[in-house]
């Protein structure tokens, strides 16, 4: 009995020991790491509008224009209706809308789609075992569309391709991209990916070289980063924006800054590491604060208004004569006095010897009078890009303040990619898949709308208003139509002011000048044509198209307002010269101007919300009309 008990206890002891050993072994064994949970890459946006980008998100390649621009975490996405523009004080010049109006991410461009999300890693089929991350990303975009293709990257011997050019050859399922640098491979692969995503054929052979060296995207750095940010947020912002810039062939990222943003140093540090891989050079346009000085000392490029031979400095100057004397490797000058009113380069460039033009980069685009309004004019964009190329300038740094931002950006970016294709053919080819035979109607309406504010600027000029930038889109009192001067005839067109038109009406050589009356008629014609087309076209489902249509309607109604206002101004001067029959014209024209502004305010409320500059200035124009009616009424028959 004792022996059986002992054996039982021994068995139990052995079992306990075995259990304890197994448990100890389990505790000491290293745990198998779990595969990190895959997270979808942040949405990219194309290089689109100050608020979010859709071709540069210019944000994540301007959203859509090919790759989309920055993703939500990297950049505040552009809302379906843009932010509100605060109304100006009565009779005070309207200040430029804040950076909030310029989303960091560009909205998708019509027919261009959004920047494709980063594809899931897949076995690389390229023959090269190691290539930079941006090139791998571009390869994956191509392989998403054509998984069966083999991609071969070749170092080209043709020096004409330069550092950015590429040549592509497609034979069966073999795609060969030849370039002299990884940046050329990147551009070539992105071009193929864009054509595939748009459903366009890929030619068996073609080449690309940039039209000029400097192709910059200018944006306020404050619009890029949310108030609450982390290092991971900045990394995402930088990567998505660089992808967007590369998609649209922008090779300069110009950051307008106060130099005091808390995230500036961290953002620049991140950009310094990644930008060269995308063929992008980061430029800071800011006062020389400690953060900017540190960036400059580390070899970073800055824009300054003080002449310096430093190779990393860009001199900002508005006097072309001073440009000739400046000892600076690169000189930045305004494209068109802070506005965009003609498809021309500054007349002062004619005085610059051609060899020295290679140091000049122009800065501008649909800004100034276009801010907050619609602009999409591929023909004008092509004319400007071609002129810069043909005149031997260093390039263009594009600043877009129109909405949707990406649309303005893409009008130029498409010309960077092909300067010789007829300007509107690319858009017709892509939009016809979305709109059929109505694609041409959209283009024509957008063209008319885009040329409304240039007419206004041609008549009223670009001079500051009481020391503030002139922003006619937010309203111009009737009295200002009598003292503002038109643009300089050196721009190629002689425009007569309202007073000069009234005084010289009988002696005008109609072929030599453009009168205020001509401007009013052209505004009526463009606005009515656009409004008729836009009301007949279907309501788009896509948010960027909805925003474009609303912004175009807003701009068209402003065109009607200004047409009536010019007529009222001319009639008032005739009234003052003793023509009592002109009194009724003044009253009727001002009433019509108020009605047009009211319609514009309704559209602006749908676009920006009920509190916006147009809605808030309506009472001012109503009081103005009442004032002139009261002055004229006693003398009316």
Summarize pLDDT for 39-78 with one digit per residue, the tens: 333 333 333 333 333 333 333 333 333 333 322 222 222 2
Mean pLDDT of 123-140: 74
Asked if residue 504 and residue 457 are part of one domain, the reply reads: yes
Percentage of the chain with pLDDT > 70? 77
- Do the domain assignments include residue 399? yes
Show which of 176, 191, 208 is a domain's final residue: 208
Q: What is the pLDDT of residue 77?
A: 29
pLDDT at 4 over 90: no
The answer to whether residue 578 sits within a structural domain is yes
Does 266 lie in the same domain as 155? no
Whether 288 contacts 258, CB under 8 Å: no
The predicted pLDDT at position 10 comes to 59
Which region holds residue 91: left if phi is over 0, alpha if psi is between -120 and 50, else beta?
left
395 torsion bin: left (phi>0), alpha (psi -120 to 50), beta (else): left
Provide the pLDDT for residue 317. Answer: 84
Mean pLDDT for the chain overall: 83
**480 and 615 both lie in a single domain:** yes
Q: What was the pLDDT predicted at 636?
A: 77
CA 579 – CA 134 distance, rounded (Å): 70
Residues 221, 347, single domain; the answer is yes
The alpha carbon dihedral of 469, 473, 479, 480 has a sign of positive
Instruction: Write the CATH number for 162.
Output: 3.30.379.10
Q: Final residue of a domain: which of 208, 236, 259?
A: 208
Report the alpha-carbon distance of residue 401 to residue 411 in Å, rounded: 13
- Assigned token pair, 557: 């109604």
Q: What percent of the chain has pLDDT over 90?
A: 69
Give the closest residue to 67 by CA, choosing from 75, 58, 76: 58
Residue 347 vs residue 29, higher pLDDT: 347
Cα separation, 50 vs 385, whole angstroms: 22
Average pLDDT over residues 381-393: 97
pLDDT-derived band at 505 (thresholds 50, 70, 90) equals low
Can you give the residue range of the structural domain that contains 164? 133-208
DSSP string, 214-241: EEEEEEEGGGTS-SS--HHHHHHHHHHH
In a domain, 28, yes or no: no
Could you tell me the pLDDT band of residue 249, with boundaries at 50, 70 and 90?
very high
411 and 553 in a single domain? The answer is no
* Alpha helix stretches (DSSP H) within 311-451: 320-325, 354-357, 378-390, 405-417, 425-435, 439-450
Q: Per-residue pLDDT for 541 more than 60? A: yes
Identify the weakest region by mean pLDDT among 217-226, 314-323, 413-422, 454-463: 314-323
Q: What is the pLDDT of residue 89?
A: 34
State the Cα–Cα distance between residues 243 and 475, nearest whole angstrom: 39
Residue 21 within a domain: no
Cα 589 to Cα 574: distance, rounded to the nearest angstrom: 14
Cβ–Cβ under 8 Å, residues 495 and 519 = yes
Identify the band that residue 635 occupies on the pLDDT scale cut at 50, 70 and 90: confident
* 574 pLDDT above the threshold of 60: yes
Least confident span in 255-259, 308-312, 466-470, 623-627: 308-312
Three-state SS letters, 275-327: HHHHCCEEEEECCCCHHHHHHHHCCCEEEECCCCCCCCEEEECCCHHHHHHCC
Helix orientation angle between 439-450 and 543-576, rounded to the nearest 10 degrees: 40
Q: What is the pLDDT of residue 367?
A: 97
In order of 100, 568, 607, the CA distances from 603 in angstroms are: 19, 24, 6
Confidence label for 30 from pLDDT (cuts 50, 70 and 90): very low
CA trace torsion 622, 626, 628, 632 (10° rounding) = 150
* pLDDT higher than 60, residue 14: no
Could you read off the pLDDT of 587-604 as tens digits, one per residue? 999 999 999 999 999 999
Do 182 and 204 lie in a common domain?
Answer: yes
CATH code assigned at 347: 3.20.20
Residues 86-131 have pLDDT tens digits of 333 333 333 333 332 332 333 333 333 455 565 554 443 444 547 8
- Residue 205 burial (10 A CB sphere; 0-12, 13-18, 19+): exposed
Task: Give the C-alpha separation, 620 to 611, whole Å.
Answer: 15
**Would you give the end-to-end CA distance of the chain in angstroms?**
138
Which of these ranges, 224-233, 488-497, 504-513, 570-579, has the smallest mean pLDDT? Answer: 504-513
Does residue 161 register a pLDDT over 70?
yes
Q: Rg of the Cα trace of the chain? A: 30
Identify the residue whose tokens are 């400095």. Answer: 313
Tell me, what's the pLDDT at 32? Answer: 31
Mean pLDDT of 352-367: 94
**Does residue 33 have a pLDDT over 80?**
no
- Residue 424, pLDDT > 90, answer yes
pLDDT at 118: 57
Q: What is the pLDDT of residue 585?
A: 95
Residue 511 CA: distances (Å) to CA of 38, 496, 514, 527, 571: 68, 13, 8, 24, 23
Q: Which two tokens mark 390?
A: 């043909």
∠ CA 249-178-130, rounded to 5°: 90
| 256 and 220 in a common domain | yes
d(CA 88, CA 97): 10
Domain boundary among 381, 403, 422: 422
Is there a single domain that holds both residue 461 and residue 524? Answer: yes
- The number of domains in the chain is 3
More reliable by pLDDT, 95 or 329:
329
**How far apart, in whole angstroms, are the C-alpha atoms of residue 547 and residue 551?**
6
Quote the CA–CA distance of 178 and 196 in Å, as a whole number: 19
Classify residue 498: in a domain, yes or no.
yes
Identify whether 404 is preceded by a cis peptide bond (ω within 30 of 0).
yes
Report the b/e string of 339-372 with b at 16+ CB within 10 A: bbbbbbbbeebeebeeeebebbbbbbbbbbbbbb
Same domain, 150 and 233: no
User: For 426, left (φ over 0), alpha (ψ -120 to 50), or beta?
Assistant: alpha
In a shared domain, residues 521 and 373: no
84 band by pLDDT with thresholds 50, 70 and 90: very low
476, pLDDT greater than 50 = yes
115 in a structural domain: no
Mean pLDDT of 21-25: 45
Task: Using pLDDT thresholds of 50, 70 and 90, give the confidence band for residue 319.
Answer: confident
Residues 395 and 473 both lie in one domain: no
2 in a structural domain: no
Mark whether 260 and 390 lie in a shared domain: yes
Joined together, the tokens standing for residue 102 give 């310029």
Distance CA 1, CA 168 (A): 93
Phi-psi region at 573: left, alpha or beta (left = phi > 0; alpha = psi -120 to 50): alpha
Domain-embedded: residue 572: yes
Q: Omega into 56 within 30° of 0, i.e. cis?
A: yes
């Amino acid at each position: 009995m004792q022996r059986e008990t002992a054996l039982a206890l021994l068995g139990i002891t052995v079992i306990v020991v075995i259990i304890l050993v197994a448990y100890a072994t389990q505790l000491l064994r290293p745990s198998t790491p779990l595969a990190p949970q895959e997270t979808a890459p942040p949405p990219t946006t194309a290089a689109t509008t100050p608020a979010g980008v859709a071709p540069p998100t210019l944000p994540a390649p301007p959203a859509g224009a090919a790759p989309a621009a920055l993703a939500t975490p990297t950049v505040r996405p552009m809302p379906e209706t843009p932010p509100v523009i605060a109304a100006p004080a009565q009779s005070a010049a309207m200040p430029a809308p804040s950076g909030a109006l310029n989303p960091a991410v560009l909205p998708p461009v019509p027919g261009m789609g959004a920047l494709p999300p980063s594809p899931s890693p897949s076995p690389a089929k390229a023959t090269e075992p190691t290539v930079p991350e941006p090139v791998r990303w571009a390869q994956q975009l191509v392989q998403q569309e054509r998984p069966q293709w083999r991609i071969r990257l070749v170092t080209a011997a043709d020096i004409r391709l330069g550092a950015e050019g590429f040549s592509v050859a497609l034979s069966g399922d073999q795609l060969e991209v030849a370039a002299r640098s990884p940046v050329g491979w990147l551009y070539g692969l992105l071009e193929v990916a864009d054509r595939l995503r748009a459903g366009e054929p890929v030619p068996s052979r073609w080449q690309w070289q940039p039209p000029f060296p400097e192709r910059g995207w200018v944006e306020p750095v404050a619009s890029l980063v949310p108030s609450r940010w982390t290092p991971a947020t900045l990394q995402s912002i930088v990567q998505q924006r660089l992808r967007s810039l590369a998609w649209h062939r922008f090779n300069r990222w110009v950051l307008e800054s106060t130099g005091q943003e808390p995230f500036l140093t961290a953002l620049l540090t991140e950009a310094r590491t990644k930008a060269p891989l995308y063929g992008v050079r980061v430029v800071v346009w800011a006062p020389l604060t400690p953060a900017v000085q540190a960036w400059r000392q580390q070899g970073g490029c800055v824009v300054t208004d003080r002449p310096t031979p430093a190779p990393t400095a860009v001199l900002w100057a508005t006097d072309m004569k001073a440009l000739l004397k400046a000892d600076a490797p690169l000189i930045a000058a305004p494209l068109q006095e802070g506005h965009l009113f003609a498809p021309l380069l500054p007349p002062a460039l004619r005085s610059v010897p051609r060899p020295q033009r290679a140091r000049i980069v122009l800065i501008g685009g649909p800004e100034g009078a276009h801010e907050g309004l619609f602009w999409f004019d591929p023909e004008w964009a092509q004319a400007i890009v071609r002129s810069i190329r043909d005149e031997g300038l260093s390039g263009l740094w594009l600043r877009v303040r129109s909405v949707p931002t990406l649309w303005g950006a893409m009008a130029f970016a498409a010309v960077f990619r092909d300067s010789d294709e007829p300007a509107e053919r690319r858009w017709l080819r892509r939009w016809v898949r979305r709109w059929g035979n109505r694609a041409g109607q959209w283009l024509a309406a957008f063209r008319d709308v885009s040329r409304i504010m240039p007419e206004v600027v041609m008549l009223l000029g670009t001079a500051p208003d009481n020391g503030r930038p002139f922003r006619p889109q937010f309203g111009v009192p009737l009295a200002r139509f009598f003292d503002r001067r038109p643009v300089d005839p050196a721009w190629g067109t002689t425009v007569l002011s309202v007073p000069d038109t009234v005084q010289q009406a009988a002696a005008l050589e109609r072929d030599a000048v453009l009168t205020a009356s001509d401007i009013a008629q052209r505004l009526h014609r463009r606005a009515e044509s656009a409004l008729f087309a836009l009301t007949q076209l279907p309501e788009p489902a896509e948010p960027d198209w909805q925003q474009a249509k609303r912004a175009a309607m807003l701009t068209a109604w402003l065109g009607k307002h200004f047409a009536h206002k010019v007529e009222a101004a001319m009639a008032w001067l005739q009234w003052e010269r003793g023509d009592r029959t002109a009194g009724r014209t003044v009253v009727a024209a001002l009433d019509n101007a108020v009605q047009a502004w009211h319609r514009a305010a309704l559209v602006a409320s749908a676009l920006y919300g009920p509190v916006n500059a147009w809605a808030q200035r309506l009472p001012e124009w109503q009081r103005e009309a009442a004032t002139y009616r009261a002055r004229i009424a006693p003398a009316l028959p």
